[in-house]
Structure 1
Amino acid sequence: MSTTRAVATAGKTNAAAATTVTTTATSVTTLHNTEQETTHKRYHDKHSANYVIRTGAAGGIAGCMAKTVIAPLDRVKILFQASNPQFQKYAGSWSGIFQAARQLYILDGYRGLFQGHSATLIRIFPYAAVKFVAYEQFKHVLMPTRTSENHVRQFIAGSLAGITSVLVTYPLELVRVRLAFEIRKDTRIGIRSICSQIYSEPAASRRVLFHFPLRNFYRGLMPTIAGMVPYAGVSFLTHHALSEFCRNRLSELTTDPSLVRGKLDGRGQKRRAPLKTWAELVVGGLSGAIAQTVSYPFEVIRRRMQVYGALDPARFVGIWETTRTIWIQNRFRGFFVGLTIGYLKVTPMVAVSFTVYNRMKLLFNVD
C-alpha cells in the first residue's frame, strides 16, 4: 500500500514538474516572439523614430558621397549656367569643360575645383536625408502594399519628396551656388561673407511693405520647385521601373537570392533582391540622365536667379524676366546651356546616390 502511494505521489510530482517546464517553455517562447515583434517593429515600422533615423542616415551618407564624386564638375557647371564672364568662352563644347576646370586649377589650385563644397556637404546631408525619408513616408502612404504600386503614385511620391527636401534646405543651396560662382584672386570668399551679402540685398519686390531679409535666401525658389517636380518624380519613377525590370526580366543581375530569402520588409512582404553593384549603378545613371533632361530648363532659370544678386545687388530679377532674358540672348539653346556637363555630373551622382543608399539600407537593416 505504501509503495503504491509513493508511486502515485511521484507521478503527481513528475506531472507537476512537466507542467511547470511546459509553462516555462511557453513563456520563454512568448517572450522571445514578443521581443522579435518589438525589434521588427522598431526597425521596419516606417513611422518609428528608429526607422526614420536609420533611413535619414543612409540617405545623408549617400548624398555626401555622390556630391563629393562630382564636385569639380558641379563647380564648372554652375559657372556655365550662370554665364560667368570669365568662363563663357569655354561653354558649349566637351573640351571647354576640361579647359574651364584647368583654368580653375590655375587660378586657385585644387581648392578652386572644390570651392563651395563645404557648403555643399552642409546642405546635402540634410537634403538627401529629408528626401529619402520623405520618399519612404509618401510611398508608404500612397502605396501601402505591392499591389497598389504604379507609375503615377511613384511619380507623385518622388515629386513630393523632392519638394519637401527643397523647402527644408534651400537657403543652404543658395549659399553654395554663390560660393561656387565667385571668382576672385585677391580675397577668400567664405560662407559668412556670402550670407552677409545675401542678407543685405534689397527686398524681392517693391510692393512688399516690410523688408524681410531672410526672404533673400529663397531667391529662385519657385523655379526650383517647378523643376524639382519633374526631376525628383521622374528620377524615383525611372529608378523603380528599371530596377523592377531587371529583377523580373534579368534576374541574373540580382545578387544571390539566398541572401534575402525569407526576410520580410516593413510591409510584411518578401524583401526585393538587391541588384548587383554595377547594375545598380547603371540603373541609377539612366534615371539621373532622363530626369536631368526633363527638368534642365528650370535649373538654368534657377541658377540665373540665384546669382543675379551677386552681379547686381541693387536689383531683383524675377522668374519671368529671367526666362525672357535667356530667350533673347540664346533662344531655345539657352535653356540647355551646360546640359552636356549636366549629364557628366548627374549620371554618376544619381548612380552613386541610389547605389550607396540601397547598400546602406541593407547595412542598417531597413527596407
Structure 2
Amino acid sequence: MATWRRDGRLTGSQRLLCAGLAGTLSLSLTAPLELATVLAQVGVARGHARGPWAIGRRVWRAEGPRALWKGNGVACLRLFPCSAVQLAAYRKFVGLFTDDSGHISQQSSIVAGSLAGIVSTIVTYPTDLIKTRLIVQNMLEPTYKGIFHAFSTIYQQEGFLALYRGVSLTVLGALPFSVGSLLVYMNLEKIWNRPRDQFSLLQNFTTVCLAAAVTQTLSFPFDTVKRKMQVRRCLEVFVGG
C-alpha cells in the first residue's frame, strides 16, 4: 500500500510547466524516429526503405532536412493541454481509489494513471490525428498548410467524427499498457533486490525505460492499426503527391 501525499515543493502550474518543457525537449529530439515509425506503420515506406535510418534518409532526400520534424509542432503544442487534463483526471481517479486512511495500492495507482491517460488522449485526440496526417503528407506539396488548416479541412471535408477516427484503438490499447505497467512495477523489488525507496538514480531511470519498452511493445499493434485508420481516406492523395 502507498500513501497519497501532495508534493509541496512545486505548485500545480510549475509541475505542468516542467512536464511540458521536458516533453517538448524529448519530442523534438526523437521526432525523426517518430516520423520513421509512423511512415512504417501506415505503409508509406513499403517497397522503398526498411528501417528508421533508411526511411529518414529517404524523407531527407525527397523533402529536405526539415521534413524529419513534420508534425512535431502540433505534438509539442498538444503536450500542455494533454498534461493538464491528465493531471486533473489523475487526481480525481486517485481520490476514488484512496481509502479513508489516505492509502492507495500500487495497482490502483497504476490503473488511475492509465484511466487518466485515456481521458486526456480522448480530449486531445484530434491533435494526434492531425500530427499523423502532417507526418504522412509530402512537405513539398502539402495538402494541409498547418495545424488549423488541417483541422478545418478535415472537419469540412470528412466531418467531425473523422477527427476521432481510430480513438477506439487508443482505449483498447490501454489494457495491455496497464498490464505491462503492472508487470514491471510489481516486480521492481525482485528485479533490484532492494526496497523501492532505496533505488539509485540509475535504477529509477532503467526502470522507467524498461516499463516504457514493455508497455510500448504490448500496445504497439493497437497503435499501428490506429495510425492506419487515421490516414486511411487520404493516404493515396499523400503518396501520389
Relative to the length of structure 2, the TM-score reads 0.80
Question: 2:67: which partner in 1?
Answer: 112
Match of 2:58 among 93, 97, 103: 103
What is the number of equivalent residue pairs in this alignment?
Answer: 231
Q: What pairs up with 1:336-351 in 2 under 5 angstroms?
A: none
1:43 alignment partner in structure 2: 8
Alpha-carbon displacement from aligned partner over 1:67-106 (angstroms, at most 9, x marks no partner): 223111101111111111xx11256x5xx22111111121
Written as runs of structure 1 = structure 2, the 5 A alignment for 1:77-92 is 77-84=37-44, 87-89=45-47
Counterpart for residue 151 of structure 2: 195
1:285 aligned residue: 209
- Structure 2 residue matching 1:89: 3-state secondary structure: coil
Counterpart CA distance in 2 for 1:81 and 1:147 is 42
Matches within 5 A, 1:10-25: none
Output one character per residue of 1:138-192: Cα deviation in whole Å (capped at 9) or x when no partner.
23431356864143x2342122111111122111111111101112434584223
Decide which structure has the larger Cα Rg and report it.
1
**Change over 3 Å in CA distance of 1:164–1:285 after alignment to 2:** same
Amino acid at match of 2:208: G
Task: Kindly indicate whether residue 135 of structure 2 is the aligned counterpart of residue 177 of structure 1.
Answer: no
1:316 alignment counterpart: none
* Equivalent residue, structure 2, for 1:214: 160
User: How many Å apart are 1:59 and its aligned residue?
Assistant: 3.2
User: 1:262-301: per-residue Cα shift (whole Å, max 9, x none)?
Assistant: xxxxxxxxxx56x443322211111111111221221111
Which of 119, 122, 125 in structure 1 is aligned with 2:80?
125
- Choose from 88, 94, 97 the match for 1:142: 97
Is this contact kept in 1: 2:63–2:138, CA < 8 A? no
How large is the Cα RMSD of the aligned pairs? 3.1
Q: Is the 8 A contact 1:134 1:164 kept in 2?
A: yes
**Counterparts of 2:181 and 2:23 in 1: how far apart (Å)?**
15
Of the structure 1 ranges 102-111 and 112-121, higher mean CA displacement relative to structure 2 is found in 102-111
Kept in 2: contact 1:219–1:305 (CA 8 A):
yes
Report the counterpart of residue 295 of structure 1 in structure 2. 219
- In structure 1, what is the Cα distance between the partners aligned to 2:175 and 2:210? 18
- Structure 1 residues 119 and 147, CA gap change in structure 2 (3 angstroms): closer
Do 2:94 and 2:104's aligned partners in 1 also have CA atoms closer than 8 Å? no
**How far 1:54 moved relative to its partner?**
3.9
Alignment of 1:250 with 2:194, yes or no, is yes
Alignment gaps of 5+ in structure 1: 1-39, 45-49, 203-212, 255-271, 314-367
